[in-house]
Structure 1
Amino acid sequence: MKKMAKLFGIAALVLAASTVANAAKIGLVISTQNNPFFVTLKEGAEGKAKDLGDELIVLDSQNDPSKELANVEDLLVKGIDVLLINPTDSDAVVSAVRAANRQKVPVVTLDRAANKGKVVSHVASDNVFGGEMAGNYIIEKLGGKGKVVELEGIPGTTAARDRGQGFNKSAKGKLDIVAKQPADFDRTKGLTVMENILQAQPEIDAVFAHNDEMALGATKAIEATGRNIMVVGFDATDDAVAAVKAGNLAATVAQKPAEIGAKGVEIADKIAKKEEVPANVPVALELITK
């Protein structure tokens, strides 16, 4: 009996060692952890890594491309199998992607793409379609025409470019975009930029912000003036969904950041196991309204 128990114990240890040996070592570089969207993305990635038994190392770039490159170099020294990266900027990230390419470490981009360098797979929502959804909603609510403001994200990011492209496509010939200005996906900047626009523009019917943080900043600026202006955001963060339910925000285009993070780890795990993966992995969108 003791001999059998000993054999079972040895088998369990062998199985555990085999599981550890098969575990992928994945590096995840996040653009910032000051934005609830990317916090949720990280949590989704961590949850999936735990389910798969993979090791996940997460580093924060603090919206700084030089910090981003340093993070990637740090992970490459640690001997990761796959690099997941959520770029601070689609152009600036190229140096980090190429650093991984030189070390033959496969790269997967999340939410924002890289404009150059070899990337095995890109996991993101269809931001162009999301921008169109926002534009079409505003057109519907304004009865087909109106004066609108567009608060843009960080210049150079694919998210800002694609959301703006989709919005402008739907707005063309219907909405008069009276102001268009970057607020860098930041709530405080969204507030400040919107305050300046409100002073300069006596007639505004609606605002489309490339993300919820800017949208929430814009609503604060609008509330202070007492003007009735509809605001639509993008990302469906917890704060934004609560603002929609409270009637302070008209709508938000719902990405699923947790799913983007989870899908990223899933793809990385397959790459580490030498399985085929798609070049683009879309994550569904929906419009959240009251």
Structure 2
Amino acid sequence: MKTRSILLIASVIVIALISFISNPFAEGKPTITVLLKEQRTEYWDVVVAGAEKGFRDFGVNGNVLAPANATTEEQIELLERILDDDPDVLIVSPIHPDSLIIPLERFIDKDIPVLLLDTDAAWENKTSYVGTDNFDLGRRAGSLIGSQLQPGDKVAIITGDEDSPVAGDRMRGAEVRLKEIGINVAAIITQLSNEPEQVKEVMETILEAHPDLKGVVATTDGMALSALHVIQDHGLTIPVTGADGLTEMVELIESGALSGTVAQNPYDMGYLSVEAAAKVYRGETIDQNIDSGVDIIVKGNAKQRLDFLHSLLK
């Protein structure tokens, strides 16, 4: 009887050990930290809404941080603090990817996987990039503008840093597509910020040089809106595309002031990045590039997009 009891106890212990080994994470939730580029803007608010839904759906302890002034120096300081906290997985959207490679290598040294969000980098140790295929976004913007024009019509492209994996890829995608369909790329203006006054000054110069301009591709919604205001001030009605699908752009489409735009999906970006991070924590294999998609927003689906944005931002 005593031998049977000992064997029973031993069996229970073995079963418990096997259960623990096969499910080592059952006792606690993983900690996933998300470091964004900036805070208090609609785009990043939507990213955060997606990430927070992911925290709930995938059972993780999530934390979202962002630099107060959107500088690389602040991101590096925040990365030092995050490293001390020793998260299970890091998701980061780098302002200037090259400047963050060395700080991010320290996470790899501690066996903390790093996923890039929104902005990719040619960094071999990243676990994955989650975000928009920005070259494809540019191509789609070129197609959308081109569908409303005639071969030989003039279009301007306005963008930020042409060496950026975001702005530069969008610019090149739009330029390639416009040339493919016979549209004249009359001007490409780079190194712009989202500051309205700078964009307005540039648009005034473009319209003075090309009074027969028929369209504008902007690589952010901020630039698109500033360009549109100048175009309207000149009494012109020409198509303008942005890239983000933010409320003001979509409202203009719903009202008929704009014919359409292309839009990345920041909510999906945030959600998919947390889903991927949770899979990595569980030891699952994920794709090195996870595309959050690009939508075409026109009058027919603008209200649906607006309703969704309002539900997130209320």
TM over 0.5: yes
Matching residue's letter, 2:294 = L
Q: Contact 1:90–1:158 (CA<8 Å) still a contact in 2? A: no
Note if contact 1:148-1:179 (Cα within 8 Å) is conserved in structure 2: yes
| Structure 2: gaps of 5 or more residues | 1-23, 300-314
CA contact (8 A) 1:212 1:252 kept: no
Instruction: Give, in angstroms, the shift of residue 187 of structure 1.
Output: 4.7
Match of 2:187 in 1: 179
Runs of 5+ in structure 1 lacking a partner? 1-17
Q: Is residue 269 of structure 2 the alignment partner of residue 260 of structure 1?
A: yes
Partner of 1:242: 251
Matches within 5 A, 1:65-104: 65-104=72-111
Residues 86 and 111, structure 1, Cα contact 8 Å, conserved in 2: yes
1:104–1:192 distance in 2 versus 1, CA, 3 Å: farther
Equivalent in 129, 132, 141 of residue 148 of structure 2: 141
**How do residues 6-45 of structure 1 correspond to structure 2 at under 5 angstroms?**
21-45=27-51
Aligned residues: 273
Q: 2:61 aligns with which of 55, 62, 65?
A: 55
* Aligned partners of 1:123 and 1:281 also within 8 Å: yes
- Please name the residue that 2:290 is paired with: 281
Distance 1:246 1:128, change over 3 A: same
Distance in 1 between residues matched to 2:240 and 2:61, nearest whole Å: 41
Q: CA deviation at 1:268?
A: 0.8
Query: What's the % identity of the aligned pairs?
Result: 28
Aligned to 2:142, the other structure's residue is in SS state helix
Alignment partners' CA distance in 2, 1:186 and 1:86: 21
Equivalent-residue separation in structure 1 for 2:195 and 2:32 (angstroms): 29
Relative to 1, partners in 2 of residues 1:145 and 1:106: Cα closer, same or farther, differing over 3 Å?
same
Tell me if structure 1 keeps the 8 A contact 2:179–2:185: no
Whichever residue aligns with residue 279 of structure 2, its letter is K
Structure 1 Cα separation of the partners of residues 119 and 245 of structure 2 = 17
1:263/1:189 Cα in 2 relative to 1: closer, same or farther (>3 Å)?
A: farther
1:115 aligns with 2:87: no
1:162-177 matched pairs, under 5 angstroms = 162-172=169-179, 174-177=182-185
CA distance, structure 2, for counterparts of residue 106 and residue 222 of structure 1: 46
Distance 1:288 1:165 in 2: 21
1:123·1:282 contact (CA, 8 Å) conserved in 2?
Answer: yes
- Please tell me whether Structure 1 or Structure 2 has the larger radius of gyration of its CA atoms: 2
TM-score w.r.t. the length of structure 2 is: 0.80
Matched residue, 1:11? none
User: What root-mean-square deviation, in Å, do the aligned CA atoms of Structure 1 and Structure 2 show?
Assistant: 2.1
> Secondary structure of 2:80's partner?
helix
CA contact (8 A) 1:94 1:116 kept: yes
What's the TM-score once normalised by structure 1's chain length? 0.86
**Shift in Å, 1:64:** 1.1
Q: Report if aligned partners of 1:147, 1:176 keep a CA contact under 8 Å in 2.
A: yes
Query: Counterparts of 2:96 and 2:162 in 1: how far apart (Å)?
Result: 8
The aligned counterpart of 2:231 is 222
List per-residue Cα deviations over 1:77-135 (Å, max 9, x = no partner): 11111110112123333233223223321110112102335100111122222211111
Distance (Å, rounded) in 1 between the aligned partners of 2:103 and 2:201: 32
Determine helix, strand or coil for the equivalent of 2:240. Answer: strand
2:162–2:171 CA contact under 8 A, matched in 1: no
Change in Cα spacing, 1:186 to 1:100, as seen in structure 2 (3 Å) is farther
- Counterpart of 2:164 in structure 1 is 157
User: In 1, distance between residues paired with 2:282 and 2:195?
Assistant: 38
Q: CA deviation at 1:155?
A: 4.2
**Cross-structure match for 2:9:** none
Question: In structure 1, what residue type is equivalent to 2:186?
Answer: V
